[in-house]
Every structure is written in C-alpha cells, then in structure tokens.
Amino acid sequence: MNILSLIRDRFRPALSHLTEAVDPLLEMIRPAQDASFGDYQANCAMPLGKQLGLPPREVAQRLVDELDVEEFCEQPEIAGPGFINLRLKIDWLDAQLGAALSDARLGVDETSSPTVVVIDYSSPNVAKPMHVGHIRSTVIGDCLARVLRHLGHQVIGDNHLGDWGTQFGMIIYGYKHFVNMSAYRENPVMELSRLYQYVNRLVEFHAGKIKLPLQEEKITQLEGQVNEQMSVCRDTDGKQKKKQEKLLRKQQSQLAQLRKERDGLAAKLSQVTSDPDLLRVVEEHQGVGVAVLQETVRLHAGDETNLALWNEFLPKCREEIQRVYDRLDIHFDVEYGESFYHDQLAEVVDQFLDAGLARESEGAICVFLEDWEAPMIIRKKDGAFLYATTDLATIRYRMETWQPDLMLYVVDHRQSEHFSKLFTTARSWFKSEVEYRHVGFGTVLGRDGRPYRTRSGDTVGLESLLDEAVAKAHAVVVENDQRKPEPEMSDEERMQVARVVGHGAIKYADLSHNRTSDYEFDTDKMLALEGNTATYLQYSYARVQSIFRRAGAEARRHAQQVTTFDLGHPAERALALQLLRFSESLEEVLIDFRPNQLTDYLFKLAQMYSVFFEHCPVLKAETDGLRHSRLALSDLTSRAMKQGLALLGIEVVERM
Ligand code: ARG
C-alpha cells in the first residue's frame, strides 16, 4: 500500500482530461508540509491554469469535481491560489494499519514490474588496504541492493575489484627491490601496503621533478598576462572597463591557484631531497615510473615471475578486504574483478574496429564521441588496454549473462566523465534498452574540511576507524548501563551491543548524508544519542522493546490482535500516518538512488514516536482497548524501525 501512488492514480484521469503532459503534474502531489492543511497537497492547478489560460482555482475545482477519492479521503479542500488539500479518512487509516499489523512486510508491497539490476559497488583496488573513501560506495551500494531486493527486483551485486591494474606493477616493483622479508612474513598486507606507498612516492617524485619547471613556466607566462591586463584596465574606461577588470580577476585567481599548486609540489619534493637516505634511493631509481608500468605490462603478458607474485599477493590482499566486509555484513553475488576480463579485451577492441565504432589515431585505438573533444581510448599506442576497455568487456559480460534492465555504478563522483563516455559508447555498441546510471558521491572529509587523512598525510585505514567507532560505542554503552539502577548487561553483551552500535553509526552517518555532498567523518557526532544518528534510532527501538518487557508476556499478543485503533490524539494519528508511509520512503530511495530518503523517514518516525510517547500514556492508558491500541502502534513502530534499519544494513539490539 503506497498512499501517494494511490492518490496520484486517482488524479491521473482527472488531469488527463485537461492536458497531455500528466506526469510532471502528478509529481506536484506531495505529502503536506504542515499537518494542519491536511495529509497530502496537490499543487498542480497553478501550472495547469497557466497552461490553459484559466484561473488556477477554477482548474482546481474542475479537478476536485472529477476526483474519485471518497473511499479514503475527506472532501478535498481548495485553498489559497489553488492548492488542493487532502485529508485521509480516519476509518481508512485504521483499516490500513490493521492490515499492516498482520503483515510481515508492514504493508509494503512488492513491485508489479520487477526488473533485473546489476549494481557495481565497493570495487576497491586491492593492492592496498581499504581506506575511509571506500566506505561510501560499499554502504550506499549495499543499501540500494537491499531496498531493490525488498521491493521484489532481482539484484546482482558485483564487486568489480581493481585486481589487475598498475597498483600491482607498483607492489611487484616494490617487492623486487625493497621488500623487508621478515615484515612480509609477519604481516604481508601491511608490508605490501608500505611498498605501495614507498614506490608511489618515488614515482611521484620523478613525475614532480618534470612537472615543476613546466609549472614555473606557466606561472611566468600568466604573470606576464596579468601585468599586461593590468595596463589594459588602466587604459580603458566606461563600459569596457568592468569587463576587462573581470578578466583580470579571473587571471589573478588562476595565478594564485597555480602558485599554490607549485608550492605544494615543491614542498613534497623537498621532503624527499632533505632526507639523504631517501634521496639516494630516488636517484638510484630514476626510471621507476616507466619500470612500474613495465612490471604491469609483463604481468599482463603472462610473465612467469610476475604472475606468480600476483597469485601470491592477491589472496592475501583479498583476505584483508574480506575481513572488513565480514565485519560490516556486506555480501556480493559475484566478485569477478578486472582480472577476470583480461583475456577478453583484445576481442572487445576488435569488435569495436569491425563495427566501425573505433578507429586508429596516433597509434591508439579510439572511440570518438560527439560531446567530447578527447576520445575514449580503448587501446594505447604500446598495445596496453585501459580501465575503459575492461569496463566495456564487463558490460558485455553482464548483458550476456543477466540481460539487466538497469546497471548502477556506485562510484566516486570524480569518475563521472569516465562513466558518461562509457555509457555513451556502450549505448552505441549494444543499442539495447538497458539503462545505465552512475550513482556518484562526494568525499569523506576530516574535521578540517579536507579529505580525511592522518597527520602524516596518509589515508586512514578503514579497519582502524571501525575499531575506533566500536571502542567509543562501548564507552557509551557502559556508561548508559551503569546509569541504570541495576546494570543489566554482561561484558559480552556490552561488547556485542558496542559492535552493532559502532558499525551502525558509521554506516548511518554515510547513508544519511545526501550522497552527492561531501561529509565530515566525526565518530563523536555519529554516536550521539540525540539527533539523526543510528544510535538514536537503535536507542528508540530498544526503548519500545523495553515497554513490551515491562508490559508483560501477553502484551505483544494483545497488541497484535488489535482490530481497531484509537487515533483520537493528533500524535497518534500522525504516528499512524507515518507508519503507513514506509513504502513511500522506499520508492523515494529508488527515484534517484538516495538512501537518505530512508534515513529521513526513520528519523522522523522515531521523533513522532517520541512525541506520541510523551502525550499518550501506553501502559497507563485509561482503558484496556486504548492500551492495546497504543501497544499496537508501538509494535508497528519497532518493526518498521527494525526493517528500515535492516534495509540500511544496520542491526538493532533489544536493550542498550
Ligand atoms: N577500482 C576503481 C577505483 O578504485 C573503481 C571501479 C568502479 N567500477 C567500475 N566498473 N569502473 O577507482
């Protein structure tokens, strides 16, 4: 039962008698902002009036006259310039609640048009441990998979691991030249990760040394332009002056940006040159940039040593990553990774050439696209294949294997150009109906508002952050328990609760932010007992459970047998309506793949329950009937919270 869809369905015929473009008008029917006007509001009479050249109130009246909503709405009211306000009938709400009460799905129907969806998510590069940036793709993708499945779609979750790229060239090179064997035996992944960072530093140093003079040159050039532009500004008056000054400001800010970049680069270089040991190594490994690429090329060409190293490293790296997935209860249907597609790449390029979709340009094989100046390269001059080639092979494989209707890529927004090009190319290749979507997201920031890093500038390992959150959650749980007249929990239970709360806090903080914005990673805020956090919701859930514990053994059964609800108090009615809007929130999640629609819903539900609880005594209700009705509302609330959180990948605890 989706109330909003039901209302929209009833508006459809009425609207279609007045206009052809019905869908955008249907979107203007929304839940009311202010409950005193009603439960839902339709704002479509205003634009429609404009379109038809009629007064909006008259249009609203015509719509209302035709609208067939009597079975569930009071007489619609027209307000202000032409708003149509709808209030649901209390008997109808009552009946719907009764249906939800006896339904394990709480009145959320499965879709009548199931689709097949491939979700590409998490997909870390495995040569280094997971860091905080990986949390986003992992939990957003997981949540979308859960919601889609719950609504009856078929989902294939694919962890497209980066297990074949230049990072392996880095660690192979590092292993051959710098490995500390005892450290490797002790903790291979840590040593590989150190090697990765070490080699990366060498590569960056040499690249930086080439880049620095080029940057200096650009700066000198721009300084000249700025000086010239200054005199142009001096010599111009009137209308032109403003324009010239604007240009000057633009150049000046470009110059400032370039200088900043140059200073950063120079500082990085001098960090190396001021360390004599490092400097010696750097000088001994002049050609490291090329050498690393060659190690990758050798691996791809089947070189025995490199392949053996890869086979040795890969399971260790994957084990490390798997530990995080296990902790976070993340599961994939398939994890092919880039290496799986390796021997299909040559054939993909041939297909493109044969179909005339790609052609050679300066030795490389390129797909030229209408809206972009730079083509998408699918084979480099030296014969190497690229990230894009693998992605095309992956799409082909998915199409052949699952015939999906939709492919979602939950990947950092910085890759949006790659995906735009990829999708355009894939569309011209397959000419099928499949829809592609890049579900992008912003950056995880530290408290200084910059990408989250340690003081030394390294990215922060994900596991240590999970540990930190669990440790802090443990402190909160212990404190809470000790504050009770009689502490209730064993050490083991406290630890278990801390894990659920700590992991939940991290997931929820990520999911509750609008995915396209950046957010600040702050474990204290995430674990706050008040506000829009998992902790608050888990606490609210546990509180409802404690009411049932106090109410005695029969309470749950009485509650679940309720056939008519008492919704006389506004807080009861508001809570009832919110409970019935669960399915709307899930539909909202899927409109633009935004899990925060669900977190918002749950937060609001918890707040409404809290208002209800304050105004409507449950255990001390005046009559048995009222007590049962309120217990039933409580039962529904706790079930909706538990299911809602489960769809976010978050668990609940019975007490905390
Ligand atoms: N491994 C890539 C990275 O870490 C992300 C892969 C995303 N998925 C894809 N099919 N390209 O940047």
Does 601 sit in the ligand 1 pocket, CB within 6 Å? no
Lowest average pLDDT, out of 101-115, 255-269, 403-417, goes to 255-269
Q: Could you give the maximum distance between any two Cα atoms of the chain, in Å?
A: 90
CB atoms under 10 Å from CB of 10, counted, come to 20
Does 337 sit in the ligand 1 pocket, CB within 6 Å? no
Cβ atoms of 544 and 638 closer than 8 Å? yes
Average per-residue pLDDT for the chain: 94
**pTM of the prediction?**
0.91
The pairing of beta strand 154-158 with beta strand 116-120: parallel
Does 120 sit in the ligand 1 pocket, CB within 6 Å? yes
Select from 391, 415, 416 the residue to mutate for testing ligand 1; criterion: most ligand atoms less than 8 Å from CB: 415
* Sign of the alpha-carbon torsion through 237, 242, 247, 252: positive
Residue 158: strand, helix, or coil: strand
Q: What is the pLDDT of residue 454?
A: 63
DSSP class per residue in 351-370: HHHHTTS-EEETTEEEE--T
- Identify the residue whose C-alpha is closest to ligand 1 atom 11: 391
Asked if pLDDT for residue 459 goes beyond 80, the answer is no
Residues forming beta bridges with residue 376, ordered by sequence position: 367
Q: Which CATH superfamily is domain 467-647 in?
A: Isoleucyl-tRNA Synthetase; Domain 1 (1.10.730.10)
Distance 264 CA to ligand 1 centre (A): 28
Does 123 sit in the ligand 1 pocket, CB within 6 Å? yes
Does 409 sit in the ligand 1 pocket, CB within 6 Å? yes
Select from 118, 122, 136, 160 the residue to mutate for testing ligand 1; criterion: most ligand atoms less than 8 Å from CB: 160
- Which residues are within 8 A (CB) of 555 and not within 5 positions of it... i.e. 6 or more apart? 548, 631
490 CB burial (10 A radius; 0-12, 13-18, 19+): exposed
Select from 386, 408, 411 the residue to mutate for testing ligand 1; criterion: most ligand atoms less than 8 Å from CB: 411
- What is the rounded CA–CA span in Å between residue 54 and residue 44? 13
The Cα-based distances of 67 to 10, 43, 115, 581, 635 in angstroms read 6, 15, 32, 22, 35
Residue whose token pair is 């008519």? 564
Closest CA to 408 of 421, 389, 417, 395: 395
- What is the rounded CA–CA span in Å between residue 56 and residue 39? 21
Cβ atoms of 498 and 474 closer than 8 Å? yes
Q: Locate the ligand 1 atom nearest the alpha carbon of residue 161 and give its number.
A: 1
Distance 125 CA to ligand 1 centre (A): 8
Q: Where are the beta strands (DSSP E) in 62-200?
A: 77-79, 83-86, 116-120, 154-158
- pLDDT, one tens digit per residue, over 186-214 is 999 889 999 999 999 999 999 999 999 99
Distance 409 CA to ligand 1 centre (A): 9
Q: What is the pLDDT of residue 431?
A: 84
Mean pLDDT computed over 507-523: 95
Does 160 sit in the ligand 1 pocket, CB within 6 Å? yes
Does 137 sit in the ligand 1 pocket, CB within 6 Å? no
Q: What is the pLDDT of residue 457?
A: 59
Select from 123, 135, 420 the residue to mutate for testing ligand 1; criterion: most ligand atoms less than 8 Å from CB: 123
- pLDDT, one tens digit per residue, over 234-256 is 999 888 898 999 999 999 999 99
Q: What is the pLDDT of residue 458?
A: 64
Does 295 sit in the ligand 1 pocket, CB within 6 Å? no
Distance 365 CA to ligand 1 centre (A): 22
- Which residues are within 8 A (CB) of 613 and not within 5 positions of it... i.e. 6 or more apart? none
- Percentage of the chain exceeding pLDDT 90: 89
Structure-block tokens of residue 258:
């370039």
Mean pLDDT computed over 104-121: 97
Does 133 sit in the ligand 1 pocket, CB within 6 Å? no
Residue 604: strand, helix, or coil: helix
Q: What is the pLDDT of residue 165?
A: 86
Distance 261 CA to ligand 1 centre (A): 27
The CATH class for the domain spanning 3-88 reads alpha beta
CA angle 544, 546, 549 (to 5 degrees): 120
Lowest average pLDDT, out of 64-73, 379-388, 459-468, 616-625, goes to 459-468
The Cα-based distances of 188 to 40, 184, 185 in angstroms read 59, 4, 6
Asked if pLDDT for residue 220 goes beyond 70, the answer is yes
Distance 161 CA to ligand 1 centre (A): 7
Q: What is the pLDDT of residue 455?
A: 60
pLDDT grade for 369, boundaries at 50, 70 and 90 = very high
Residue type, 54: L
Structure-block tokens of residue 132:
């905080």
Mean pLDDT computed over 426-450: 92
- pLDDT, one tens digit per residue, over 132-143 is 889 999 999 999
Structure-block tokens of residue 449:
């508002």
How far from chain centre, in Å, is Cα 461? 19
Structure-block tokens of residue 204:
């960056």
Q: What is the pLDDT of residue 604?
A: 97
Asked if pLDDT for residue 360 goes beyond 70, the answer is yes
Distance 337 CA to ligand 1 centre (A): 9
